[in-house]
């Protein structure tokens, strides 16, 4: 699985960290998404998908 994020689209909702804190973080000063791991291991794949589905700005893209 390969994860990419679009920081320009991000609206700092925090939905990615809520669903997959092991893969995503937020910048401290404005909450914009920071990708911690672009190749999450299989046990984290489901959380990554949930985060992408929950992102209100459609800023997370996942290639299976």
Query: For residues 1 and 25, which CB has a smaller minimum distance to another protein in the complex?
Result: 25
Q: Nearest approach, Cβ of 53 to another protein (angstroms)?
A: 7
SS (H, E, C) 11-59: CCCCHHHHHCCCCEEECCCCCCEEECCCCCCHHHHHHHHHHHHHCCCCC
Q: Nearest approach, Cβ of 39 to another protein (angstroms)?
A: 22
Residues lying near another protein in the complex (CB under 8 A): 8, 11-14, 17-18, 21, 25-26, 28-32, 50, 53-54, 56-58
């Amino acid at each position: 699985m390969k994860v990419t994020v679009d920081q320009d689209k991000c609206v700092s909702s925090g939905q990615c960290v809520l669903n997959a804190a092991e893969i995503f973080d937020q910048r401290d000063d404005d909450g914009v998404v920071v990708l911690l791991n672009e190749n999450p291991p299989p046990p984290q794949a489901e959380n990554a998908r949930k985060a992408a589905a929950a992102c209100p700005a459609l800023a997370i893209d996942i290639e299976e």
